[in-house]
Amino acid sequence: MLSSLGERVFHWLDERLDLQPIQRFVREKSVPSHRYSWCYFFGGATLFFFMIQVATGVLLLLYYKPTAEAAFESVRFIMTEVSFGWLIRSLHSWSANLMVLAAFLHMATVFFMRAYRKPRELTWYTGATLLLLAMGFGFSGYLLPWNELAFFATRVGTDMAGKVPLVGRFLLEFLRGGEDVTGATLTRFFGFHVAVLPMMATALILFHLLAIQRQGMSVPLSQKEASTTNAGMPFFPNYFLRELMGWAIALAILAALASLFPWELGEEADAFAPAPAGIKPEWYFVFMFQTLKLLPATVAGVEGELVGLLAFGLAGLAWFFVPVLDIRSSREEPSRWLTLMGVAALLFIAIMTLLGYVMP
């Protein structure tokens, strides 16, 4: 009965939208099956958390007020007065962090599997941009509750942007909407967070997904032989159900975190109060924050922070353009030096993040 209703609906839609090619595509689509197939789930998890962000973000928008006078109080209202407001806010905050984590793991696995090699360069570029956008979402969203820690962390973060040679001053004033972090900063961060970044992210995600559908999943060089003898896993229903299972587990983890460790609200920001001890940015910026903190005041006569920012800038560029720089992979040859560099970079990020939390 249900099946016949479903068939009738599909038939009705097919007559109007010509859905059969899509149905054929889904039926024929397969996912490579090898020992690293589990890595494919990180992309799906990132997408899942992004969808949670959109859903919870829209609900938060119903009550949030983006002004310096009302922002903190409106978040407090959401957490205490709105039915399940505490859960929605906590889900939004936790899901944001899990999304960045999933995106980072997705990027790392794509890097080590060399999935960016021809013809998937554009997928890498859009993915790398999406990771940067996710960090932008985090940076702009962190300020929105207008609490003390976020206020001072934003001041430090935008100060760093101000150190960029030539355009630093412009960047700083553009981000802050003036000389200092004020209500103007909050308003424009809100604008970035709910309009500019979502628009860009949605467009890029659509392109990213379209490219993946057009080209299929990449197979690591080491697994190419195994993959050619293996027919792969049908996308529907085998891989699709696995993906759903992964999402269910991600949802369970998210629900447990949001309920057991509700996201704190902190103290309301006060621009005239002294900066509190232990200001830290979001955890995914801590490695940069800690590196800049450890650098000496001057390196070879140049300001230490500037040297650090330039180094991060260059490393970021190299990472972004790795499909161009990794010539061996483009020739389908293994490149061990790049793997070593990737491991070194991950170790550096892990150690600096750890130091950021244990050092005074």
259 sits near another protein (criterion: CB under 8 A): yes
**Is residue 29 near another protein by the rule CB under 8 A?**
no
Report, in Å, the least distance between residue 103 CB and another protein: 22
- Give 41 or 124: the residue with its C-beta nearer to another protein: 41
User: What is d(CA 179, CA 185) in angstroms, rounded to the nearest whole number?
Assistant: 10
- With respect to another protein, which residue has the nearer C-beta, 91 or 99? 91
- The whole-angstrom separation of Cα 59 and Cα 66 is 15
Give the contacts of 55 (CB within 8 A, at least 6 positions apart). none
Tell me: does residue 265 bind another protein (CB under 8 A): yes
Closest approach of another protein to the CB of residue 85, in Å? 10
Tell me if 255 contacts another protein by CB under 8 A: yes
In terms of CB distance, is 245 or 314 closer to another protein? 245
Q: Which is nearer to another protein, 180 or 264 (CB)?
A: 264
From 94-102, 104-112, 126-134, 240-248, span contacting another protein (CB under 8 A):
240-248
Question: How many chain residues are in contact with another protein, going by CB under 8 A?
Answer: 23
Q: Which stretch binds another protein (CB under 8 A): 124-132, 196-204, 213-221, 251-259?
A: 251-259
- Cα–Cα distance for residue pair 206/47, rounded to 1 Å: 11
The token pair that represents 286 in the structure block:
């801590």
Closer to another protein by Cβ: residue 254 or 292: 254
Distances from the Cα of 47 to the Cα of 190, 196, 257, 295, angstroms: 22, 18, 19, 36
User: Of 73 and 332, which has the nearer Cβ to another protein?
Assistant: 73
d(CA 230, CA 224): 10
As measured in angstroms, the least distance from the Cβ of 281 to another protein is 22
Give residue 111's identity as a one-letter amino acid code: F
Rounded-to-integer distance, Cα 261 and Cα 360, Å: 24
Pick between residue 104 and residue 235 the one whose CB is nearest to another protein.
235
Amino acid at 269: A
Closest C-alpha to 100, from 128, 131, 129: 131
Question: Binding to another protein by residue 248, rule CB under 8 A?
Answer: yes
**260 contributes a contact to another protein by CB under 8 A:** yes
- Check binding of 222 to another protein (CB under 8 A): no
41 touching another protein, by CB under 8 A = no
Binding map of another protein across residues 67-106, x = CB under 8 A, - = no contact: ---------x--xx-----xx-------------------
**343 near another protein, rule: CB under 8 A:** no
The reply to whether 38 sits near another protein by the rule CB under 8 A is: no
Residue selected from 251, 311, 338, 349 as contacting another protein according to rule CB under 8 A: 251
Q: Which is nearer to another protein, 67 or 80 (CB)?
A: 80
**Which residues contact another protein by CB under 8 A?**
76, 79-80, 86-87, 237-238, 241-242, 244-245, 248-249, 251-252, 255-256, 259-262, 264-265
